[in-house]
């Protein structure tokens, strides 16, 4: 029985020794992993910085191209909107011109109809009214004799 106790004690001691060894190995593995991780981070950061430095011009060029493309799109949209606005304004102008042309043609037809019927034309009526008004108010007196525009009021003809 003493041999069995010694054997069990030896087994426990061996177990403790192997557990310590494994624990020390585990700590060593964790330390090496932490070192590797740190080295990897440093290399990755250095590689990233180098990559940025190598491709900085390309990145800037791509950003400039993107900005230029956006600017071109905005310019194209603005130009398209302006063209649409000009087209709408032109259509409105053409419509108003067509209306004016239609009115002129209507007036011309009206004048032609009056000439055929020997009716006085509107312009002839206006001239006759103007002559009558001039004859009725032949002379206008200025407010006072010192008025510098008195000659203007005393003129013979009011047709300028």
Judge contact between 121 and 111, C-beta under 8 A: yes
**Sign of the torsion angle spanned by Cα atoms 43, 44, 48, 51:** positive
What is the enclosing helix (H) or strand (E) of 22? helix 2-54
**Does residue 160 surpass a pLDDT of 60?**
no
What distances in angstroms separate CA 29 from CA 23, 33, 34, one per listed residue? 10, 6, 9
State the pLDDT at residue 103: 81
> Cα–Cα distance between 41 and 47 in angstroms, integer?
10
What distances in angstroms separate CA 55 from CA 30, 58, 68, 113, one per listed residue? 36, 5, 19, 85
Judge contact between 134 and 157, C-beta under 8 A: yes
Residue closest to 150 by CA, chosen among 140, 142, 159: 142
pLDDT in tens, 54-88: 888 888 888 899 999 999 999 999 999 999 999 99
**Prediction pTM value:** 0.35
pLDDT in tens, 101-155: 888 888 777 767 766 666 665 666 767 767 766 665 555 555 566 666 666 666 6
What distances in angstroms separate CA 67 from CA 60, 64, 73, one per listed residue? 10, 5, 10
What DSSP character marks residue 155? -
């Amino acid at each position: 029985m003493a041999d069995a106790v010694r054997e069990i004690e030896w087994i426990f001691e061996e177990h403790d020794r192997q557990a310590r060894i494994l624990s020390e190995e585990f700590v060593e593995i964790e330390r090496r992993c932490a070192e590797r991780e740190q080295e990897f981070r440093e290399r990755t950061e250095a590689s990233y910085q180098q990559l940025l430095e190598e491709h900085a011009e390309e990145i800037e060029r791509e950003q400039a191209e993107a900005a230029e493309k956006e600017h071109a799109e905005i310019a194209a949209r603005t130009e398209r909107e302006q063209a649409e606005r000009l087209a709408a304004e032109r259509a409105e102008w053409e419509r108003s011109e067509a209306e004016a042309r239609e009115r002129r043609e209507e007036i011309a037809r009206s004048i032609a109809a009056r000439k055929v019927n020997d009716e006085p034309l509107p312009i002839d009526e206006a001239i006759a009214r103007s002559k009558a008004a001039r004859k009725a108010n032949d002379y206008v007196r200025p407010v006072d004799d010192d008025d510098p525009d008195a000659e203007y009021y005393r003129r013979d003809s009011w047709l300028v």
